[in-house]
Amino acid sequence: MSLLQITDLHAAVDEVEILKGISLTVNPGEVHAIMGPNGSGKSTLAQVLAGHPSYEVTGGSVTLDGEDLLEMEAEERAWAGVFLAFQYPVEIPGVTNAYFLRQAYNEIRKARGLDEIDPIDFIDLLEEKLKVVEWGPEIMERAVNFGFSGGEKKRNEILQMAVLEPKLAILDETDSGLDIDALRIVANGVNRLRRPDSATIVVTHYQRLLNFIVPDYVHVLAGGRIIRSGGKELALELEEKGYEWLTGPEAAVAS
């Protein structure tokens, strides 16, 4: 059975339709890249899957492991195994990374009928997960994303992903604003977290990240629709020829 099944998905924000009929099947173990010009609807798709309350689904269906994802609140999607790495991670001054991560970890365990983790065991778990993003323990005492550089924020998203072990990870423009070292760390982290029973959707404007996270499939989104799907070589072709090769100049709408 497919992990994620998107069928003819339509979505609007402020009554403007952004997604105009997206269909996509993602199987366990796969990496899919969603590419497209600015305003094509890439980030909207990521937020709709995560359950952002500002986006209204106006048609179609989405299932995760056969369950209706669109019926779930954002937190229920997290409990079910959806994880969105934000393009703009939110700062939460006053809450340490350690406290935040432990609470998130425990909420997801509780939702799955498991006991809360022992705080000492959680420290051991964190120690392991920090290696994924090549960080020392100091980061855990800093407030969530507060005063973090752009690169640190993205690394912190990957750290959260490592701890929460989602079934479906969606990376929304995780490469934007990263220098080459940070890009390597983030991409290595994502690769280390790949499992046969989970899948990753990489949303990106540029082909650059896909040199590090090699996708099984590439989909080009424009004007709220997938206009082309192919293998990893499609990304290279796009890099060479630009999006206008597929879209023409007027296909873009607001994202």
Partner 1 sequence: MSVTAAPALPFGAALAAARPGEPSWLAALRAAARERFVAVGLPTTRDEEWRFTPVAPLGKLEIGLPAAPGTLRPEALAPHDFDPAWPRIVVVDGRFEQALSRLPDSAAGIRVLPLSRAIAEGVPEVEKHLAKTVAPEATPFSALNAAAFTDGLLVVVPKGADPGQPIQFLHVATDASADALLAPRLLVVVGEGARATITESYLSLTTQRHVTTTVAELVVGRNATVEHIRVQRETDAAWHVGFTAVDQARDSHYRSFALSMGAHLARHNLHAHLSDENIETLLYGLSLTRGEQVSDTHSAIHHDHPNCNSWEVYKGVLDDRSRVVFNGKVLVDPIAQKTDAKQTNRNLLLSEDARVDTKPQLEIFADDVRCTHGATIGKLNEQQRYYLQSRGIAGAQAEQLLVWAFAAEVMTEILQPTVRKALEADVHARLGEMTG
Q: How many chain residues touch partner 1 (CB under 8 A)?
A: 28
114 binds partner 1 (CB under 8 A): no
Choice from 94, 113, 147, 249 touching partner 1 (CB under 8 A): 94
HSE value, Cβ hemisphere, 13 Å, CA-based, for 215: 28
Residues 183-212 that bind partner 1 (CB under 8 A): none
State the minimum distance, in angstroms, from the CB of residue 119 to partner 1. Answer: 16
Quote helix, strand, coil % in the chain, to nearest 5.
Answer: 40, 30, 35
DSSP 37-53: -TTSSHHHHHHHHHT-T
Question: Could you tell me which residues come within 8 angstroms of residue 5 by beta carbon, excluding any fewer than 6 positions away?
Answer: 24, 25, 26, 61, 62, 63
Binding mask 64-93 for partner 1 (x = CB under 8 A): ---------xxx-xxx---xx-x--xx-xx
Instruction: With contacts defined by CB under 8 A, name the span among 10-18, 26-34, 51-59, 186-194 that binds partner 1.
Output: 51-59
CB 238 within 8 A of CB 207: yes
Inter-CA distances, 86 with 60, 89, 174, 176, 191, Å? 24, 5, 7, 11, 18
The nearer residue to partner 1, 50 or 133, going by C-beta atoms, is 50
Type of residue numbered 165: E
Which CB, 95 or 236, lies closer to partner 1?
95
Q: Of these, 107, 216, 237, 239, which contacts partner 1 (CB under 8 A)?
A: 107
Distance from C-alpha of 237 to C-alpha of 232, rounded to nearest angstrom: 9
Tell which positions 146-185 bind partner 1, by CB under 8 A: 160, 164
β-pair type (92-96, 143-144): antiparallel
- The correct pick among 8, 23, 25, 111 for binding partner 1 (CB under 8 A) is 111
Provide the binding-site residues for partner 1, judged by CB under 8 A. 50-53, 73-75, 77-79, 83-84, 86, 89-90, 92-95, 100, 103-104, 107-108, 111, 143, 160, 164
